[in-house]
Chains A and B, each alone.
Chain A
Amino acid sequence: AQSVTQPDIHITVSEGASLELRCNYSYGATPYLFWYVQSPGQGLQLLLKYFSGDTLVQGIKGFEAEFKRSQSSFNLRKPSVHWSDAAEYFCAVVPNSGGYQKVTFGIGTKLQVIP
């Protein structure tokens, strides 16, 4: 069964600083990979996704993520964080095979942005 690890439960960064949120997955083949963001009191919104091809993917709100097969990682990055980025971020994986496949979510990383 696949699994997702987000090793950082809380991260605090200063506004304007760069950000990297880590995500590692365990799965026999390359799965589909996603990052979602959840603002306080809201549902999850898709930030970006990776299916195949270019390993650097761009998403909404200025985020990007890089897929590294050798490290089984899909880390999320942003060059300059804004106060509105304070939220919880979830990495998710889905097997790359036919039929319905269950999405496995990480436990989330809560981002705090300080002035």
Chain B
Amino acid sequence: DVKVTQSSRYLVKRTGEKVFLECVQDMDHENMFWYRQDPGLGLRLIYFSYDVKMKEKGDIPEGYSVSREKKERFSLILESASTNQTSMYLCASSPLKTRREQYFGPGTRLTVT
């Protein structure tokens, strides 16, 4: 079974803090994704990566950056957390040669106070 893990299930940070969200997948997938999920808005793509050290902006990259130094790990960074970044963050992965089904981690619920 594909396993995607996220470093924290719940996280509480203060405004202005730098926040790291880590995601690890164990199935040698090329593609990895970060989404945020908000009620009434569904899933919105923040960034994705199709290879080590490669990244592409999604629909809402402002205020976020990412890092992919190893194939299995994809990190989301909030350089200076703000209250409007309080959300559920979901990481996903998929193989390169696939019909684009994605495998999701359990999510990190981030609260910025």
A-side interface residues toward B, CB under 8 Å? 9, 32, 34, 36, 41-46, 49, 51, 90, 94, 100-103, 105-108
Contact = CB atoms under 8 A, between A and B. Distances in A.
Interface residues of B, number: 23
B61 interface: no
B107 A41 contact: yes
Interface string B70-102: 000000000000000000001010000001111
Contacts of A94: 99-100
Contacts of A90: 42-43
Interface of B: 4, 9, 31, 40-43, 45, 48, 50, 58, 90, 92, 99-107, 109
B100 A106 contact: no
Nearest to B103: A46
Q: State the majority secondary structure of interface residues on A.
A: loop
A36 B107 CA distance: 15
A43 B41 contact: no
Given A32-B99, A49-B101, A107 B42 contact: yes
A90 to B, nearest CB: 7
A9 B40 CA distance: 8
A42 B107 contact: yes
Contacts of A102: 45, 58
B105 A46 contact: no
Nearest to A100: B50
Contacts of A34: 101
Contacts of B103: 46
Nearest to A110: B39
B105 to A, nearest CB: 5
Nearest to B105: A43
Given A41-B107, A100-B31, A100-B50, A46 B101 contact: yes
20 contacts: A9-B40, A41-B9, A43-B4, A43-B90, A43-B107, A44-B43, A44-B90, A44-B92, A44-B102, A46-B102, A49-B99, A94-B99, A94-B100, A100-B31, A100-B48, A102-B45, A102-B58, A105-B43, A107-B40, A107-B41
